[in-house]
Structure 1
Amino acid sequence: MEIGQVIKYIRTNKKITQQELATAIGMTRPYIARIESGKNSISSDKLTEILEYCNVTYNEFFYIKNDYTKSSKMNEFNRVVELYYSKNYEEISEIKKRVKEKYDENGDIFLRHLYILCHCIENDLDPSKIKDEYINELADYLLSMEEWCFHELVILNNFIYLFPPETAFLMTKNLLYRAEKYKNLNLDKNIMSYLFFNLLEFSFKYEGYQYSKIILDATKKYYITVSDFFEQTLLIYYEGMLDIVENSIEEGIEKCERAFIIFQTLGHESIYQKYKADLEELLSKVKNKEATAEEV
């Protein structure tokens, strides 16, 4: 639907007359009629006023505008991810070809990044097989963006394990800025959750413990409600991991074990096994460092 059609659709379903809407936002009824018929355009400010008066969010507005579906671009992206998990690489290659053709036509950066994602998946997300120019292109793009939106968050989440550690850690400032600025918006909480905990895992994997503390502190501020129980359990686990590195191995293990009990109680056996393995890897690193220090 066109913008005017969506406005009319919302207005009529809310049982609001053109005159009532016009009066509420300081416009004339004929002007509202021309907007709805597509004869007049509308400013973003006036569109905001209309949506607020009708108690409709921007997300809902664009969802309705797209005939109650997510954007076609996002659908294609989600499809690639589904195909990756089902190991259907043949169809991913077909999507890659279509995406390249569309990108060559309109230069949409979203399509370029989707093309690179397809290339990475075709190469098993193995940094040694992926073209350096693609990883550098993504890194340059993310580092050049002063203000990150949902698209940039998705890129970092998808490619974080392909970036050199120092590059990924450099990008955390944009993530943390976004988290602080948008924490009351709650529109992309799932992607934020993936990113926070992927970055925490990444920081321990590459021993960037100073970043572990920064990310952990930011994550604690983000997940503070009762509904964030799972995330808070993960935070207990990572607090324990950081204690092992910085304070007390015994206290750190105790916190990790508390989180493990919750995972097992809730039936998250695969999650328990995954994080238990990460704990054992960290303990091995710490003990090896202690042994090396004693020898010196």
Structure 2
Amino acid sequence: MEIGQVIKKIRTNKNITQQSLANAIGMTRPYIARIESGKNSISSDKLTEILDYCNVSYNEFFYMKNDYKKESKMNDYNKVIKLYYEKNMEGISKIKDEAKRKYEENNDIFLRHLYILCHCMENDLDVNKIDKEYTQEITDYLLSIDDWCYYELVVLNNFLFLFSPAPALLMSKNLLKYAEKYKELNSDTKVLSYLLFNLLELSIKNNDFESAKTLLNATKTYTKKNTEFFELTLSLFYEGMLNIVDDFIMEGIEKCNKSLDIFRTLSNEYFYTKLKEDLDQLLKKKLSAKK
């Protein structure tokens, strides 16, 4: 839908007349009518005023504008990932060629990243086969952005498999800045928590325990709602892991086992097995260090 159409839909759904809306935001009724019909444009300030008056968030507005679908660009990323798991390399190749063609037309960095993701999928996510220039390009892009937005989270999420521990943990600084700045914004919870936990696991496996503690604190702050049961359970597990690192071994094992019991009760075999292996490896390390 066009912006004017969405404004009209919101207004009529809220039983607000054009005149009432015009009075509320200091415009004339005919001007509101021309905006709704697409004959006049609207400034971002006035759009904000309209949404505030109608009690509608920007997220809702753009969701409606995109015909009640998630933003179409992000859908393209998801489409490629889905095709990869379906082993549909022909479909990935078509998207790759189309992304290249469109990128050459309008220089949209999203299309460049989509092209690189397709290249990675075509090479079965094998870092030894993926063009090193592409890995460097993604790294340079993420490190060049000081204040990340949701898009940068998605890029890191999609390309995390490319990075060795050092650059990945360096990027976690921007991730933490984002988590702090946008902690009241709920729409990015899943992708952000996924990245936080993956980087937390990476830092522990690479003995970077200071980074791990910082990431754990950020994770606990971001997932403080009791409804985020899965994230809280993972946080408890990694809190136990760091207790073990700090030689509070029995306390740490108790927390880890409590988390593992929850995953087993929920029949989440993947996480139970994976985390149990991580715990066993850490305990072996501690035992070896004491010999």
Normalising by the smaller structure, the TM-score range is over 0.9
- Correspondence for 2:220: 220
Q: Residue 228 of structure 2 aligns to a residue in which SS?
A: helix
Please list, as runs of the form range in 1=range in 2, the aligned pairs for 1:70-85 lying within 5 A after superposition: 70-85=70-85
Q: Which amino acid counterpart does residue 7 of structure 1 have in structure 2?
A: I
- Correspondence for 2:143: 143
Shift in CA distance, 180/78, structure 1 to aligned 2, threshold 3 Å: same
Instruction: State how far apart, in whole Å, the 1-side matches of 2:287 and 2:127 are.
Output: 29
Q: Which stretch has the larger CA shift, 200-209 or 232-241?
A: 200-209
- Give the drift of 1:25: 0.8
Q: Residue 227 of structure 1 aligns to a residue in which SS?
A: coil
- Give the drift of 1:32: 1.0
- Correspondence for 2:53: 53
Instruction: State how far apart, in whole Å, the 2-side matches of 1:210 and 1:124 are.
Output: 33
Superposed CA deviations along residues 222-248 of structure 1, whole A, max 9, x for unmatched, are 111210121111111101111222223
Instruction: State how far apart, in whole Å, the 2-side matches of 1:91 and 1:280 are.
Output: 41
Q: Which stretch has the larger CA shift, 214-223 or 56-65?
A: 56-65
Q: Which amino acid counterpart does residue 152 of structure 1 have in structure 2?
A: E
Instruction: State how far apart, in whole Å, the 2-side matches of 1:268 and 1:144 are.
Output: 38
Identity %: 64
Normalised to the residue count of structure 2, the TM-score between the two structures is: 0.95
Superposed CA deviations along residues 6-60 of structure 1, whole A, max 9, x for unmatched, are 2112212222111000011111112112211222211111101101111211122
Superposed CA deviations along residues 67-90 of structure 1, whole A, max 9, x for unmatched, are 222333222211111122233333
Instruction: State how far apart, in whole Å, the 2-side matches of 1:208 and 1:126 are.
Output: 25
Instruction: State how far apart, in whole Å, the 2-side matches of 1:290 and 1:125 are.
Output: 38
Aligned length: 291
- Give the drift of 1:197: 0.8
- Correspondence for 2:64: 64
Q: Which amino acid counterpart does residue 220 of structure 1 have in structure 2?
A: K
Give the aligned CA root-mean-square deviation in angstroms. Answer: 1.5
- Correspondence for 2:280: 280
Normalised to the residue count of structure 1, the TM-score between the two structures is: 0.93
- Correspondence for 2:204: 204
- Give the drift of 1:102: 1.5
8 Å CA contact 1:176, 1:215 repeated in 2: yes
Q: Residue 16 of structure 2 aligns to a residue in which SS?
A: coil
Superposed CA deviations along residues 98-148 of structure 1, whole A, max 9, x for unmatched, are 211111111111111111111112222222221111111111111111111
Shift in CA distance, 290/127, structure 1 to aligned 2, threshold 3 Å: farther
Q: Which amino acid counterpart does residue 81 of structure 1 have in structure 2?
A: I
- Give the drift of 1:152: 0.1
Instruction: State how far apart, in whole Å, the 1-side matches of 2:224 and 2:62 are.
Output: 30
The alignment status of 1:232 with 2:232, answered yes or no, reads yes
8 Å CA contact 1:102, 1:111 repeated in 2: yes
Q: Which stretch has the larger CA shift, 257-266 or 54-63?
A: 54-63
Instruction: State how far apart, in whole Å, the 1-side matches of 2:43 and 2:205 are.
Output: 49
- Give the drift of 1:272: 0.4
Give unpaired runs (5+ residues) of structure 1.
292-296
Instruction: State how far apart, in whole Å, the 2-side matches of 1:90 and 1:290 are.
Output: 54
8 Å CA contact 1:161, 1:202 repeated in 2: no
